[in-house]
Amino acid sequence: MSDDLPLGRAVPGWTARPRPPRAAMQGRFCRLEPLSAELHADSLFDANALDREERMWTYLLRGPYGSRGEYRAYLEKCSASEDPLFFAIVDAGLERATGLGSYLRIEPAHGVIEVGHLAFSPLLQRTAAATEALYLMMRQVFELGYRRYEWKCDALNARSCRAAERLGFTFEGIFRQAVVYKGRNRDTAWYAIIDSDWPAIDAEFRRWLAPDNFDSRGVQRTPLQNGVPKTSR
């Protein structure tokens, strides 16, 4: 090997990371449960049906689902999957599932995981439970010793891009013509958090989620401060 070629920094002692377990994650506003079509299909279908205009499905690869049976069949396939590994987001106040999320492209050898298949019903959108669910997922990834946590979305999905930035992800670029879905092109925006970012992001989430940051109605007193984009598009 030539001595004059640049090399990436050494990662001494690196070993493959454990795969995320199919186990519940408990928070104050929500609980993530391993997805079960039997346990969660009806609650999720009913919660999704509150989106009368079906806007939540616009940038998702699949959906909407025309019948309860069709949706249940989809969830049965999701429940059996190891990658993506799906979780139902159960609202602690309502005690019912109101959204879905998953880990995907799980690469223990490289320490990389992506979050995706986020399907948040109107009952979950713009709530503390939604933010906490995403925090619980990323916290587990870094506690398992992963080096990189990815968020990818349609570059035209302004709400998803804003969410990534608010949560502390760094914008890394756009992969042009990356996907064809629902008969249309998708340019994919890439975001990531790496392990050196995590301590500051974790501290800010803990501050934001503290009980004294919410009033008696559950409204935040101060907003989450992770969300300053580190690069601009």
For residue 97, what are the β-bridge partners? 90
At 137, the amino acid letter reads M
pLDDT in tens, 78-134: 999 999 999 999 999 999 999 999 999 999 999 999 999 999 999 999 999 999 999
Average pLDDT over residues 221-227: 89
Phi, psi of 129 (to 5 degrees): -65, -40
- 147: exposed, middle or buried (C-beta count within 10 Å: 0-12, 13-18, 19+)? buried
Distance CA 57, CA 124 (A): 14
Kindly state the DSSP code that residue 220 receives in the 8-state scheme.
B
Distance CA 87, CA 17 (A): 20
Residue 233 pLDDT class (50, 70, 90 cuts): very low
pLDDT in tens, 169-214: 999 999 999 999 999 999 999 999 999 999 999 999 999 999 999 9
Which pLDDT does position 227 carry in this prediction?
A: 58
In contact, 92 and 57? CB cutoff 8 Å: no
Average pLDDT over residues 225-232: 55
Residue 231 pLDDT > 90: no
Q: Where are the domains of the chain?
A: 25-213
Which pLDDT does position 104 carry in this prediction?
A: 98
Whole-number average pLDDT of the chain: 95
Kindly state the DSSP code that residue 76 receives in the 8-state scheme.
H
Which pLDDT does position 135 carry in this prediction?
A: 98
Closest CA to 187 of 203, 172, 173: 173
According to CATH, the topology of domain 25-213 is Aminopeptidase (3.40.630)
Strand, helix or coil at 232? coil
Compare 233 and 100 and report the one with higher pLDDT. Answer: 100
Which residues have a Cβ under 8 Å from the Cβ of 151 and sit 6 or more positions away? 114, 115, 116, 160, 164, 167, 169, 190, 191, 192
pLDDT in tens, 68-88: 999 999 999 999 999 999 999
Which pLDDT does position 1 carry in this prediction?
A: 56
Phi, psi of 75 (to 5 degrees): -65, -30
DSSP E strand boundaries for the chain: 25-26, 30-34, 85-91, 96-107, 112-120, 148-154, 170-181, 184-194
Encoded tokens for 203: 């501290």
Closest CA to 209 of 220, 198, 217, 200: 220
Average pLDDT over residues 157-172: 98
Which pLDDT does position 229 carry in this prediction?
A: 40
Strand, helix or coil at 204? helix
- Model pTM above 0.75: yes
Closest CA to 57 of 7, 146, 122, 3: 122
